[in-house]
Amino acid sequence: MSIHEECGVFGIIAPTPCDVARISYYGLYALQHRGQESAGIVVNDDGVFVSHKDLGLVSEVFSNEILSDLPQSTMAVAHTRYGTTGGTNRNNCQPIEVNHQKGRMALAHNGNLSNSAELRSTLELSGAIFHTTSDTETIAYIITRERLCTASIEDAVSQAMHAFDGAYSLVVMSPQKLICVRDPHGFRPLCYGKTADGTYVVASESCAVKAVGAEVIRDVEPGEILVFTKTGVTSRREHCRKQEPTPCIFEYIYFARPDSIIDGISVHASRVKAGKILAQTHPVQADLVIGAPDSGLDAALGFSQESGIPYGIGLIKNKYIGRTFISPGQGARIDGVKIKLAAVEESIAGKRVVLVDDSIVRGNTMGRVVKLLRDAGAKEVHVRISSPPFLHPCYYGTDIDSEEHLIACKHSVSEICRIIGADSLGYFPIQKLSAITGSRHFCSACFSGDYPTAVPTDTRKDRFEQRLSDKKK
C-alpha cells in the first residue's frame, strides 16, 4: 500500500486542428492512477510549442481557463508523473521541451533507465548542462545528439535506443511527427488507438485510449517504433526481438487500472486469478473477504469466489485526498490512515475477516489497517497479499525501496504477521506468478532478484536534492 505508481504518457495527432489539449486532459485523467506529483501538456501549434506544466493532480494543474488558452492544433503530448529518478519540483515536470539546431522536440517518458547515471556522467563530462534531475532529460539529450546527424527524428530515436538500458515507453513530438517507442524488454505498457474521424492517440494504458472515444488498435510491441504523420502510421521494428520481452508483472498486480488490457491480457482477470490462487495456497476459516481499496478489490473478489467465503465492503477509501493532503504532525494525535480509510463496522463487527491487499513494503501501513479493523470489531484479521514478498529494489521505474527498508528482507513471514498484528499472513507464491498472466515472460526482479539487465553500479537518485550536511553523513 506504500508503493507509488509509475508515470502516464499520452499523445495525439489529428487530421485537422481540434482541441487536442482538452482531449489530452481527459487522457491524463484516465491515467491519474499512474502518477500524482505533476502533470503537463505540450501543444504543437504549427511548429510552435505551447505548454502548461505544474505540480499537482491533473484536475489541480488544469482548469477550464487554462485548457481554453491552449491553441487548437493537430498534435499534443502529455504526461502525469510520479518521480522515481529526480525530486518533486517544477523543473522535473514533463513533457520535456528541447530546442535544437534542427528544430524542436517534446518528450514524455514512463520508466527508468538502469544506466542513467553512467549516461548522464558521460554527457556532463562532454559539456552538457542539465536543468533537471530526471533521467528523461538524459534521454532527450541523447535523442537530440543523434538528431543532429540523422535524416529524421525517427532515425534519431532508433540510434539513441542503442545507448539505453532499462525501461522506457516514450512519446516524442517534433514539429511534424508524433513518435512512440517501447523498450526492447517491454517493461512498461504502451498502446495506441484511432477515433472515427481518423485521430490517432497513444497512451500508457488502453483505459485512456477508450476514455477519449478511440478504439484500441493494439499494444506497441517491445522494441517497436511507431511514426505518426498526417498521412497515417508506419512501424519500425529494427529493435524488436533483440531481447526477450519481460513486461513488469507488477503492472498486473497493482499499477495498471483494472479495466486496462496490457499485451492482450486483462488486468482485472489477472487480479481475480491471483486471488483465487491465494485462496488455494493459503486457505483460512473466515466469515468475510474484503479488499484494500482500490488495488486489492479484484484479488479479494477472486479469493471469495474460490474459497466460498462471502465478499463484502469492509474498508472505504477517501477518494478526495490528493497530493495536497497534509499529513498529521507528530504533535497531532491523528492517524493519517483513519483519514484516508474508514472501516464499515456493520460489515466487520464480530466477524473473522480476510483482508486482501497487493503488497507489504515496510509494514507500517498494513499494521495500522489491521488495527483499524480490530477497532471496528473484527474478531480475527487474516491478511492475504496478492504478490510475493519484496526482497530486492527495482531499477526500472517502480519505487521499491532499498533492501534495508523492506520488511521481508529482515523478518520471516511469521514475524511480519506478528509485527502487523494479524492472526495469519499469506503471500502469493512466487513459483505461480506465471499463472497470473498465462505467460512465463515477465520481470519479477523485485521478488526474485533476477534482473533482465545489468544492475546499475550508481543507484543514487537524489544527489542533486541532498543538502551538503546530508552528503557528509
Domain boundaries, given as residue ranges, for the chain: 8-245, 267-318+337-448
Tens digit of each residue's pLDDT (9 = 90 or more) over 399-423: 776 788 899 999 999 999 999 999 9
Q: Does 7 participate in catalysis according to the annotation?
A: yes
> Which residue out of 7, 93, 207, 443 is catalytically annotated?
7
- Better pLDDT: 20 or 81: 20
Residue 245 and residue 222 in contact, taking contact as beta carbons nearer than 8 Å: yes
Residue 5 has pLDDT above 50, yes or no: no
Query: Between vectors from CA 101 to CA 98 and to CA 102, what angle results, nearest 5°?
Result: 90
Mean local confidence (pLDDT), 162-168: 95
User: Bridge partners of 169?
Assistant: 110, 182
- Least confident segment among 27-36, 135-144, 461-470: 461-470
Number of H helices, E strands in the chain: 18, 21
Mean local confidence (pLDDT), 193-213: 98
- Least confident segment among 79-93, 174-188, 281-295, 355-369: 79-93
Query: Which CATH architecture is the domain 267-318+337-448 placed in?
Result: 3-Layer(aba) Sandwich (3.40)
Fold identical between 8-245 and 267-318+337-448?
no
Can you give the pLDDT at residue 3? 53
pTM for this model (two decimals) = 0.91
Can you give the pLDDT at residue 45? 96
C-alpha cell, 272: 481475480
Mean local confidence (pLDDT), 250-254: 94
Tens digit of each residue's pLDDT (9 = 90 or more) over 72-88: 999 999 999 875 544 55
CA gap 355, 373 in Å, rounded = 9
Residues above pLDDT 90, as percent of the chain: 77
Can you give the pLDDT at residue 471? 55
The class (CATH top level) of 8-245 is alpha beta
Can you give the pLDDT at residue 464? 53
Residue 52 and residue 40 in contact, taking contact as beta carbons nearer than 8 Å: yes
Query: Between vectors from CA 8 to CA 137 and to CA 402, what angle results, nearest 5°?
Result: 70
